[in-house]
Structure 1
Amino acid sequence: MADAEKPDATMQEMAAPAVTLTCEPVFSEDEPTTVYDVQWRTLMAILALSMANVCAAIANTTNTIIRSQVADLGDSALSSWVANSNLLVTLAFGPVLGSLSDRFGKKWFIIVASVFGIVGSVIAGSAHKTTTIIAGNVLTGLANAGCIMGVPAAQEVTPNRLRPWTMGFSQALASVAVIAGTLGAGAFVKYQTWRWSYYLNAFVYGTTTVLVTSFYHPPPPGLRRQRTTVGELLARVDYLGILLLTGSIASLLIGLTWGGTTYAWHAAPVLATLIVGCVGLVVFGVYEWRGTAHGIFDHRLFQSRNFPILLFVCVVDGMLLLGVNVLFAQEIAATFTTDSVKIATVLTPFLATSAFGCLPAGIIMARTKSYRTLLVCCLLWCSLFTGLMALLNDKRLSWAYAFSALFGAGTAVTTVIPVVALALSVPSFLLGTAGTISVSCRALGGIIGITIFTAIYDNKMATALPADVGAVLAQNGLSDLIPAVLAALATESPTALEGVQGLPASLIPTVAAAQATANSWSWKYVWIAISVIVAANAIVSCFLEPVASKMNNHIESALEVSDVRDKQMGTHV
């Protein structure tokens, strides 16, 4: 091994022999034998690829104004599909496109996906039916399945030792865009129309298309560079795995979305789709384990135990980040204000600390070459302050600002660090597969979180609201009005109680206060559940392996003019 390829003394000290023997992955990735300087080509490509990540992030900001969309177009029973249609398609197709991109390259997948995003956003923005919004979101979900490849693609064009910086920047940019998108969505609802939120997303997709086309010119992917023909790559595509995975996930998520809304949980359509989805995933898992070595879940991904652990971490992070983003907006509307701009304002501290903590998280990992302790501590931090969110009520708005800002700072770390650690724990030529699987796990976590937490809230509210409102009416000898009052409250209209015949106007504030009490009591259990799940995630993260030995000068996809790029392009003499 040449001197230029030897790890420095610091890295040798950090990777003690006892740890190296048990934890070092068995695959080998050589460092460049000549100096590789990161210059403007790489920086502009990172910006362009980070914009693809922005597309996937900002598309979810329209979920904070679902109430306004449904109120305008009707079909409130379909409201859960407005959010889940996007996430479902992203989750089902993300790993598939990621696997294909590792074989055929990522550039055109991202560009075509961005065009789908433009079309889907315009369709949703111009919709006159809720079903049309859902159709548009299906297209943007497919777009996001391609755009999330911006994350692994940005990691590929960056030397391993600098990947935490790249991910920190990429996620910070996406988080800032989410803040702007959330505030913009609220302002559009209040001063113009919710449609402009979708048109803003279309503009972002369009900008990404131009940037990626102009500045991202990668060499052939690693698997293609292994002297493999296109025909051989096509023959090795895991077609059966793709069919099993997409079909099973679609069936499972349709059941989760139907349950408790369109149908009761014990209804035949819900049970059938859930059973088919679960059985299909089991069959998919057995097939990937025993039927093929190079399927979607390529066996080389599991050469370190970090991969399965970090996928679990990403699922819980999705429950925290995506689930909380949707549900916290609903709690704000139910507890503090229905003004769309004020809802976005209350969300801002959580989004802001989550955004501005991303780059520092990446810097800390890059400089220390360590991540496990930081990740575990931040997960425990998030567990503490999501637990304290259980104390919120309509008189404690300042507590909502403080607690959400504090656990938002923790989510910055849980968003950045696991993705970088995962990228350093798998072969770089499989980054597209690993990266899209991790993002899909986040989407899965978001859907599971929204489903579970909504079910907890609905179950608690179904008990608390009749009891609290019924107590108020009974004390005033109006027990016969309980069904009518509950029906009025279910409409969520601020003036609905005024239309209940026989209900004195003087009693309306007392009934509203009873509703607020039941609401706070129900949300308390949602936050307790979130806190417990995040704490469990911290315990699991204690078993992660170090990645310091992989934070070297290896570059998977060289963009700068250099011997490394010449070799990867096949022009090296």
Structure 2
Amino acid sequence: MEKINVTTSEQCERTQTEQSEDASFGSPAMLQETVQDADYRLGVRTMLAITALALGNCCAAFTNSSNTSIRFQVESVGGANLASWIGNASFLLTLTFGPIFGFLGDRVGKKWFMVGGAAIGVIGACLAGSAHSVQRIIAGQVLSGIGNAGCIVSIAASQEITPNRLRPWVMGYTQALASSAALLGTYCAGAFVKYESWRWSYYMNAFVYAVAGTSIALTYFPPPPAIRRRETLSAIFSGLDYIGIFILSGSLASLILGLTWGGTTYPWGSAPVIATLVVGCVGLLGLGLYEGYCKKDGIFDHRFFANRNFAILLFVCTIDGMLLLGVNVLFSQEIATLFTTDSVRIAVILSPYLITSLFGCLPAGYFMYRTKSYRTILVIALAWCSLFTGLMALLTPSRLTWSYAFSALFGIGTAVTTVIPVVALALSVPSFLLGAAGTLSISCRALGGIIGITIFTAIHNNRLATLLPKYVAGALHATTQGSAASEGQLLGEVLGALANSPLPPPVALEHIQPPLSKQAIGAVLGALSNAETGAWKYVWVAISAIVAANAIVACFARPVGQNMNQHVESALEHTEVRARQMEIKHAS
């Protein structure tokens, strides 16, 4: 084990209290402990706890992998018009409750938010797995989203129990396990669909939640958080930012409802969509004004903004969510339309991206640990992702090998963007507020995922609506001998079968009356493939442009090397450091 010098917490608590009383709050570096000669070693307790907390982070990855089988779920239970809610319901609740749980965890402790979240996740996964309607699957995903909101607190908790300078290592290890979970979950989801049932994917989720919750309960015994050591529970609860919590949760829920409804449940210009989007945006604006002028220690604590890193890195995490979560959901759909509908082969085609994302996490953490630098590698990784997501626009049904190569290459970049921004943000804020800051970053990633899925789906659907009639009309004209009027009527029937039938396109076309010839069906399927290729091309171009803009924003982030010191916020090993952190000395 590595020998690490860590200071006592008493001086840190005194410094933090003095800084919190200062209107300017000082800089994040001033909120770290001053290094002394106290002896602290990372031992078995800490390593077991880090692994258990990493399993908590894996829960969200497994939940997301179930989304790769959404098309098979709605084929089984119906409700294709609500399919987008299967993925978005979980994201919505994670996004809404994650910052709240992190904010409360900084004040009363994080353990039972994680354990309780895992328990709720078990219930949600079992509910979704046993569902016989899409509404029940969505209800299960709602519970899973709340469970994930508790589980993602583990990211902040795992960084608190290690010295600041080792946080990149911990994040790399944690994200490597999460990527392994995503890879395993994707293969399991595909295998379950092909050989058993998509339901077993959710039952697997329930097992992972149970293992994670049990592991955290048995290994993670932290000292009271720094705020709890200084204040009584009654003072903490009386000072909670209830107004901010209410505005944040309501605004985000309204905003995501509008984004999810638009173009699916209701037209984009409809009153429900416009009303929810306006309420969400106005609410977030009101939250900013309230937090800026009325509540300096609320959800968006003023100390987060001691330098510009917090705002910049939140933006980076949001756009990164559009890349990570958007690609994970949409790429599997593109594979199904261009290459294969076999669920196991879909998982195989996704593998290069997932594998390089997995094996790149630890090197990314090692680089930041060794150099105490992150901005250059982050900007390069984002530019790299922009290049190869742009090249994905060249995919056609005959270019499967290109898909393997390009997805593997931008997977290398996403490994960096998964690890580095979260660690850099955590090192840019006071350690005793790490829970709120960390969950805000993860929630912004979830928000980015929802926005990305919505935007990219809209781009795909709009282009497909333009290209498909054109290509199908050409195919029918070349393969049928009829009048312009009869071709027009047939075109309407074919487009209706492709858009509205729950059956796969080849089967749906066989049910058209009068029946189409085999030659006509083949031509229509070719036209559908060409239209899908053109529609997905625009999606990848949009992703590439957004990621390139993110690289430009990341150039303005500030260094955090001065904060990669030997401070440990929450000591698990039985040392003098832990003994001091276990003392509760409420402020008079």
Q: TM-score, normalised by structure 1?
A: 0.95
Corresponding residue for residue 223 of structure 2: 219
Deviation at 1:26, TM superposition (A): 4.3
Do residues 147 (structure 1) and 128 (structure 2) align? no
Deviation at 1:512, TM superposition (A): 1.2
- Which of 399, 407, 412 is matched with 1:409 structurally? 412
Q: Map of 1:306-385 to 2, 5 A cutoff?
A: 306-385=309-388
Do residues 116 (structure 1) and 120 (structure 2) align? yes
Q: 1:90, 1:242 → 2: CA distance?
A: 14
CA separation of 1:214/1:267 partners in 2, compared to 1, >3 Å: closer, same or farther? Answer: same
- Contact 2:54–2:178, Cα closer than 8 Å, also in 1: yes
Q: 1:281, 1:538 → 2: CA distance?
A: 25
Corresponding residue for residue 494 of structure 1: 506
1:264 match: secondary structure: coil
- Contact 1:31–1:555, Cα closer than 8 Å, also in 2: no
- Contact 1:468–1:518, Cα closer than 8 Å, also in 2: yes
Q: Map of 1:238-257 to 2, 5 A cutoff?
A: 238-257=241-260
Q: 1:31, 1:137 → 2: CA distance?
A: 46
Corresponding residue for residue 442 of structure 2: 439
- Contact 2:424–2:560, Cα closer than 8 Å, also in 1: yes
- Contact 1:53–1:150, Cα closer than 8 Å, also in 2: yes
- Contact 1:353–1:409, Cα closer than 8 Å, also in 2: yes
- Which of 493, 501, 504 is matched with 1:484 structurally? 493
Query: Hey, which bits of structure 1, 4+ residues long, moved more than 6 A?
Result: none
Deviation at 1:315, TM superposition (A): 0.5
- Contact 2:223–2:578, Cα closer than 8 Å, also in 1: yes
The aligned amino acid for 1:153 is A
- Contact 1:85–1:134, Cα closer than 8 Å, also in 2: yes
Corresponding residue for residue 285 of structure 2: 282
- Which of 523, 539, 545 is matched with 1:510 structurally? 523
- Which of 106, 124, 142 is matched with 1:102 structurally? 106
- Contact 1:32–1:555, Cα closer than 8 Å, also in 2: no
- Which of 452, 455, 460 is matched with 1:457 structurally? 460
**What is the aligned-residue RMSD (CA, Å)?**
1.5
Q: 2:169, 2:280 → 1: CA distance?
A: 38
- Which of 536, 540, 546 is matched with 1:527 structurally? 540
Deviation at 1:35, TM superposition (A): 2.0
- Contact 2:32–2:567, Cα closer than 8 Å, also in 1: no
2:128 match: secondary structure: helix
Q: 1:547, 1:24 → 2: CA distance?
A: 10
Q: 1:247, 1:571 → 2: CA distance?
A: 35
1:209 match: secondary structure: helix
Q: How many residues align?
A: 553
Corresponding residue for residue 34 of structure 1: 38
Q: 1:446, 1:39 → 2: CA distance?
A: 37
Do residues 189 (structure 1) and 193 (structure 2) align? yes
Deviation at 1:567, TM superposition (A): 0.8
Corresponding residue for residue 70 of structure 1: 74
Corresponding residue for residue 84 of structure 1: 88
Deviation at 1:32, TM superposition (A): 4.7
Q: 2:203, 2:55 → 1: CA distance?
A: 16
- Contact 1:115–1:205, Cα closer than 8 Å, also in 2: yes
Unaligned 5+ residue runs, structure 2? 8-25
The aligned amino acid for 1:169 is Y
The aligned amino acid for 1:222 is A
- Contact 1:32–1:554, Cα closer than 8 Å, also in 2: no
1:56-80 C-alpha deviation (Å, 9 max, x unpaired): 2211111000111111101111101
The aligned amino acid for 2:146 is L
Share of identical aligned residues, percent? 59
1:36 match: secondary structure: strand
The aligned amino acid for 2:508 is A
Corresponding residue for residue 165 of structure 1: 169
Corresponding residue for residue 235 of structure 2: 232
- Which of 291, 294, 299 is matched with 2:297 structurally? 294
Deviation at 1:23, TM superposition (A): 8.4
The aligned amino acid for 1:486 is L
Deviation at 1:31, TM superposition (A): 3.1
- Contact 2:89–2:138, Cα closer than 8 Å, also in 1: yes
Q: 1:263, 1:26 → 2: CA distance?
A: 51
